Amino acid sequence: MLLPPLAVLLVGGLLALFAYSPFVTVGASPNYPAIVSSPPADSLLSNSGYAQNKLSPIFTAEVQYWGNQIVTWAAEYGVDPNLAATVMQIESCGHPRARSSAGAMGLFQVMPFHFAATDSPYDPATNARRGLAYLARSLASAGGDARLALAGYNGGIGVIARGEWSWSAQTMRYVRYGAPIYADASAGLESSEALNEWYLNYGVSLCRQAHEYIGLP
């Protein structure tokens, strides 16, 4: 029996709908640092990671060590834990006693003037709360744009309103790595080309020290 023309169109439309799947499976690689192509960073930068209750697997073991705490700390300030983990990765690689030549301290490399007189700057929870409070302010000033928020975290919130040509080389480098690392974490990838590049260029010694300090096998 022939179907009326309208019924044919409806059946064809339903078959096309069920044939389409918006999900793409990303293959996992068991070895670090493995290289996986990253999506364009600016296409994924928002304040919503691929999972709000756990970290992406792209972060190194030293950062994963703090995973449960990162989720808890980030929730206090309404920050995506994967954005918080991106900052920790670049700042200290999870070393709670890290200190920069400029005097920044701890897991989130917080400058001394952000602490109260009664604070213990190297206490992980205290350090995280001071750092993430500033990250949340930076994110708000950036209108939710994580790339600009990372620039503000590194260079001071004032840089968000300025042209990128005026950013310091350090802030440019921070965003160059931080934005695609966060994008890869948000996309649910199993590893990150940007994080691997950062690790090879800047993270080997830092992460080794963190690894030894926190006693990972």
pLDDT in tens, 103-122: 999 999 999 999 999 999 99
Whichever domain contains 59, its CATH number is 1.10.530
Q: Is 193 a catalytic residue?
A: no
* Residue 149 to residue 136: CA distance in whole angstroms: 8
Taking the C-alpha atoms of residue 128 and residue 88, their distance in angstroms, rounded to an integer, is 9
Q: In the structure encoding, which two tokens stand for residue 57, read together?
A: 């697997």
Which is the catalytic residue, given 62, 76, 91, 190?
A: 91
Range of the domain at 116: 40-213
| Residue 23 is assigned to a structural domain of this protein | no
Query: Taking the chain, what is the end-to-end CA distance rounded to the nearest angstrom?
Result: 71
Q: What is the pLDDT of residues 59-70, one digit of tens each?
A: 999 999 999 999
> Would residue 6 count as lying in a domain?
no
| Residue 5 counted as domain residue | no
Number of H helices, E strands in the chain: 9, 0
Residue 20 lies in a domain: no
Of all residues in the chain, the percent with pLDDT exceeding 70 is 76
Name 165's Cβ contacts closer than 8 Å, sequence gap at least 6: none
Q: What's the rounded Cα separation, in Å, for the pair 70 and 8?
A: 54
Residue 12 lies in a domain: no
Q: Are 121 and 127 in contact (CB under 8 A)?
A: yes
Torsion, Cα of 82, 84, 87, 93 (10° steps): -80
Query: 10 Å Cβ neighbour count for 53?
Result: 9
Whole-prediction pTM value? 0.77
32: in domain:
no
Mean pLDDT of the chain: 82
Report helix angle 146-155 to 169-187, nearest 10: 140
Q: Is residue 33 part of a domain?
A: no
Secondary structure E strands in 85-144: none
In a domain, 3, yes or no: no
Q: What is the pLDDT of residue 69?
A: 98
Under 8 Å between Cβ of 128 and 108: yes
Q: Is residue 35 scored above 50 in pLDDT?
A: no
Count of structural domains within the chain: 1
